[in-house]
Structures are given as C-alpha cells and as structure tokens.
C-alpha cells in the first residue's frame, strides 16, 4: 500500500511542535510572491520567515488549533474568532526582532489583513501548508475536511496567497471577496465559507 492510498492521520499539535510547524510553513510558502516582497534579499529569507511564523504558531498553540499530519508533513493553523482573541505577547517587539530591516513591510501586511478581516464570528485559517515534496496528494483537502467537520455551523475565513490555493478553497465551498495587494502587486484573495456549506468529498 502506498502512502497516497492511505487516509492521513491528523493530530492536534502542541507547544513541542511549534518549531517544526513554523519551519514547515516557511518551506511551503517560500515560492509565494508575498514572501519575496516581505524579505527582498534571498539571503536569510527562510530564517526570517520561520521566525515570523513562529510568533503566530506559538500563539495558536495556546489560543487556536493546529492540525498536523506527521509523516507527510502538512499542517493547518486555525484561530477560532468567536470572542476576543488576545494579541501575541510582546508582538511588536518580537516582530521587530524577527524581521529586522523589513519590519515595515510586515506591518503593512498586518494592516491589510486587519482591514479586510470580517467581524462576524468564524474560524480563521491562518496557515495551510504542505511540504513541497508532498503537494498535490490531497493533504490540504484532508486538513480542510477535518476542521470543517468540527465547525458546528460556524463560517470560516482565510486569505489565499496564490491562484492555486484560491482554487483549492473554491472547491471546499469558500467564496471570494475583494482582493487586496502589496505594493509590488503580490495579491491576496480573502475568502469566506458560509456556515451551511457541506464538506467537500
């Protein structure tokens, strides 16, 4: 039996998984146009992005839900936005330390995310990442179905960062909202999944 013919085993990640999850997200997101804008210099880009992602992954380990496929690897990082969600402790200082000379670019992206984020109660998919060697095998879909089954009628929201990911989310019942872009044209597709949408097969 090949790996692709088996149902992936998804578990809830904890604090001890934070470092590997942040590194996985940085690896999976490396080709994105937004990443090249955030850190224009290739040297050190992976380390900076890993440190940036680690801030939110640590926060999700406390205040969110991290679904991890260990042997793939693939991960989905969610934040239930059904009540007040605190900011990561020391966020601004940690972001400045992580991003160095590129801080203003990260702050701009944060402001764009905040501007377009809906106010209604929902679950927010902050990151869906699959290692490049495992992409195209249905792992992202498996992670989406896993969480959608637990939403209990709540909507979900995300910001797709590539046409490929946008198309994946469309297949899972997400509806596009108005796009926004970074100064170099790197585009994000905000997407909303109503609470009454059945899970995709």
Owner of token pair 């670019």: 105
Contact 25, 53 (CB under 8 A): yes
Write out pLDDT tens, residues 46-69.
Answer: 999 999 999 999 999 999 999 999
Q: How many residues does the chain have?
A: 201
Please state which CATH number belongs to domain 3-157.
3.40.630.30
**Do residues 49 and 38 make contact, with C-beta atoms less than 8 angstroms apart?**
yes
Do the beta carbons of residue 123 and residue 64 sit within 8 Å? no
pLDDT band at residue 1 under the 50/70/90 scheme = very low
pLDDT in tens, 163-189: 999 999 999 999 999 999 999 999 999
Query: Tens digit of pLDDT for each residue in 115-154?
Result: 999 999 999 999 999 999 999 999 999 999 999 999 999 9
The neighbouring-strand residues paired with 80 are: 123
Q: Using CA atoms, how far apart are residues 47 and 26, in angstroms rounded to an integer?
A: 8
CA neighbor of 66 nearest in space, from 81, 80, 45, 86: 80
- What would the pLDDT profile of 17-38 be if each residue is shown by its tens digit? 999 999 999 999 999 999 999 9
Alpha helices in 39-100 (DSSP H): 45-63, 91-99
pTM: 0.93
Helix (H, G, I), strand (E, B) or coil at 102: helix
Question: Each residue of 90-103: pLDDT tens digit?
Answer: 999 999 999 999 99
């Amino acid at each position: 039996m090949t790996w692709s013919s088996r149902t992936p085993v998804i578990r809830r990640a904890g604090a001890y998984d934070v470092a590997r999850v942040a590194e996985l997200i940085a690896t999976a997101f490396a080709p994105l146009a937004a990443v090249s804008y955030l850190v224009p210099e290739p040297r050190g880009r992976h380390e900076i992005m890993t440190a940036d992602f680690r801030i939110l992954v640590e926060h999700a380990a406390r205040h969110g839900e991290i679904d991890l496929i260990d042997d793939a690897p693939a991960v989905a990082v969610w934040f239930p936005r059904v009540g007040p969600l605190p900011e990561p402790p020391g966020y601004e200082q940690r972001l400045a330390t992580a991003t160095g000379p590129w801080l203003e670019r990260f702050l701009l992206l944060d402001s764009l995310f905040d501007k377009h984020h809906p106010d209604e109660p929902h679950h927010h998919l902050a990151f869906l990442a699959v290692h490049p060697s495992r992409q195209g095998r249905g792992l992202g879909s498996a992670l989406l179905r896993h969480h959608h089954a637990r939403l209990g009628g709540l909507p979900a929201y995300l910001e797709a960062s590539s046409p490929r990911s946008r198309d994946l989310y469309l297949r899972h019942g997400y509806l596009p909202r108005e796009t926004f872009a970074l100064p170099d044209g790197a585009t994000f597709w905000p997407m909303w999944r109503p609470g009454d949408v059945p899970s995709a097969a």
